[in-house]
């Protein structure tokens, strides 16, 4: 299992946002280089918390 | 960095991932690495104030693209809420999880270093859980592991899709059926190894989540949640299990039939089934309960939980 880094990591670098089925897929790169993918339900006219962090 | 060694006597791979010895072990809730990072709080794997479903590469992977053997190890966090379970998720979130599984199967299965995408969940300290936050995992094995290989051998032995044939048998018998909907049948298998083992099987021949219609994904999610809630009602306690999603290999070594197997270690409210001499040394399960009686108890529990 994973564990937290010792220091508070910066917000992940935002990458490409796409869709898959009913989901919005937002890819980020964590400060240690690992990939973080945030999935959220597509809602018209509404951005998801988290997935909206940083420039897309 | 993990390493594969082939165990000749059993004819199977053993993965050495010694870095996992240092992974987080049952932290207090306010240091949960799967919670969103809160202002002023402890850092977590998801450095955002909120999220719906998050997937990330395991910090202590059993398999990874960086290792000589390749492969993948991902963590799937079902919710940003620390308490709960697959069974207690809102229905829409559980349905979304099916789409996430499908997307990961698609992407990991497309990799040349992944031969089998295995989605699973360990629930409860009884099966070795180290974090209580609702989550599952995905391993991308760089080879076809023994259990799915045995399922493909069953296809050959039965002259076609084994899960299709076995589902027909279960439906004809009926005694071990727990419940059904338009897309899936949930039953205790004829030769269950665990006292309350259950299989969730797609009615139609779907090799993987990729072939499922959206309505089937929705009904699969409903069935998984209904079963887990029934499990929790059986002994009026959170019910530990290993949940294994079996799908087609992604290395063209054969087909498959999407089904989800649950292996609960409890044989009574307080007693665990241990894998001991016969199971480990000879490979033969000695079961303490009859599947038909377990099915009766589970049907009652599922009705209570409804």
Burial class of residue B138 (count of CB atoms within 10 Å of its CB; 0-12, 13-18, 19+)? buried
* Gap between the Cα atoms of A35 and B46, Å rounded: 11
pLDDT > 90: what percent of chain B?
Answer: 88
- Which residues of chain B from 114 to 143 reach within 8 Å of chain A, CB to CB? 130-131
Contact A49 B60 (CB under 8 A): no
Element (H, E) at A16: strand A13-20
- Which residues of chain A from 1 to 56 reach within 8 Å of chain B, CB to CB? 1-12, 20-23, 25, 30, 32, 34-41, 48-51, 53
Q: What is the 3-state secondary structure (H, E, C) of chain B?
A: CCEEEEECCCCEEEEECHHHHHCCCCCCHHHCCCCECCCCCCCCCECCCCCCEEEEECCCCCCCCCCCCCCEEEEEECCCCCCCCHHHCCHHHHHHHHHHHHHHHHHHHCCCCCCEEEEEEEECHHHCCCCCCCEEEEEEECCCCHHHHHHHHHHHHHCCCHHHHHHHHHHHHCCCEEEECCCEEEECCCCCCCCCCEEEEECCCCCCHHHCCHHHHHHHHHHHHHHHHHHHHHCCCCCCEEEEEECCCCCCCCCCCCEEEEECCECCCCCECCCCHHHHHHCCCCCCCCHHHHHHHHHHHHHHHC
Higher-pLDDT residue of B88, A4: B88
B285 — pLDDT class (breaks 50, 70, 90): very high
Which residues does chain A have with pLDDT short of 70?
Answer: 1-15, 43-56
Say what the pLDDT of residue A5 is.
35
Six-digit token pair at B2? 């993990």
Q: Residue B34: which of B48, B20, B21 has the closest Cα? A: B48
* Gap between the Cα atoms of B268 and A26, Å rounded: 44
Least confident of B144-148, B162-166, B252-256: B252-256
Q: Indicate the residue of A2, A36, A39 with minimum beta-carbon distance to B96.
A: A39
Mean pLDDT of the region B63-81: 94
* Gap between the Cα atoms of A29 and A33, Å rounded: 6
Contact A23 B214 (CB under 8 A): no
* Gap between the Cα atoms of B183 and A13, Å rounded: 40
For an interface test with A, give the residue of B56, B73, B96, B106 to mutate (most A CBs within 10 A): B56
Catalytic residue among B31, B82, B103, B135: B135
Mean pLDDT of the region B41-49: 90
Summarised one tens digit per residue, pLDDT across range B206-224 is 999 999 999 999 999 999 9
Say what the pLDDT of residue A13 is.
62
Say what the pLDDT of residue B50 is.
95
* Gap between the Cα atoms of B86 and B134, Å rounded: 7
* Gap between the Cα atoms of B265 and B293, Å rounded: 17
Write out chain B residues lying below 8 Å of A11, CB-based. 47-48
Q: Residue A52: which of B54, A40, B90 has the closest Cα? A: A40
Summarised one tens digit per residue, pLDDT across range B220-240 is 999 999 999 999 999 999 999
> How confident is the prediction for chain B on average, in pLDDT?
95
pLDDT > 70: what percent of chain B?
Answer: 100
Mean pLDDT of the region B123-130: 92
Work out the minimum CA distance from B79 to partner chain A, whole angstroms: 10
Reported ipTM: the value is: 0.94
Mean pLDDT of the region B137-154: 96
């Amino acid at each position: 299992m994973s564990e937290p880094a010792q220091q508070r990591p910066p917000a992940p670098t935002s990458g490409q946002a796409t869709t898959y089925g009913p989901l919005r897929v937002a890819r980020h790169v964590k400060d240690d280089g690992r990939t973080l993918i945030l999935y959220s339900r597509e809602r018209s006219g509404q951005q998801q918390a988290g997935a909206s962090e940083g420039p897309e | 960095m993990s390493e594969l060694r082939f165990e000749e006597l059993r004819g199977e791979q053993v993965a050495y991932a010694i870095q996992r010895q240092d992974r987080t072990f049952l932290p207090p809730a306010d240091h949960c690495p799967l919670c969103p990072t809160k202002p002023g709080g402890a850092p977590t794997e998801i450095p955002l104030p909120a999220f719906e479903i998050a997937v990330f590469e395991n910090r202590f992977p059993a398999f990874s693209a960086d290792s000589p053997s390749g492969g993948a190890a991902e963590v799937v966090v079902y919710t940003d809420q620390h308490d709960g379970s697959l069974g207690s998720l809102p229905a829409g979130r559980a349905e979304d999880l099916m789409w996430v599984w499908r997307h990961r199967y698609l992407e990991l299965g497309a990799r040349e270093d992944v031969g089998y995408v295995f989605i699973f969940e360990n629930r409860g300290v009884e099966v070795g859980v180290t974090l209580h936050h609702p989550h599952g995992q995905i391993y991308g094995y760089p080879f076809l592991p023994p259990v799915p290989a045995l399922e493909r051998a069953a296809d050959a032995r039965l002259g076609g899709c084994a899960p299709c044939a076995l589902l027909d048998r279960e439906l004809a018998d009926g005694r071990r059926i727990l419940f059904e909907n338009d897309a899936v049948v949930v039953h205790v298998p004829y030769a269950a190894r665990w006292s309350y083992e259950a299989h969730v099987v797609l009615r139609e021949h779907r090799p993987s989540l990729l072939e499922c219609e959206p309505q089937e994904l929705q009904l699969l999610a409903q069935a998984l949640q209904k079963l887990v809630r029934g499990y929790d009602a059986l002994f009026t306690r959170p019910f530990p299990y290993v949940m294994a999603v079996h799908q087609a290999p992604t290395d063209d070594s054969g087909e498959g039939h999407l089904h989800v197997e649950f292996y609960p270690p409890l044989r009574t409210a307080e007693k665990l089934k241990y894998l001991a001499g016969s199971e480990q040394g000879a490979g033969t399960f000695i079961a303490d309960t009859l599947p038909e009686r377990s099915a009766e108890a589970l049907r009652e529990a599922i009705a209570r939980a409804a």
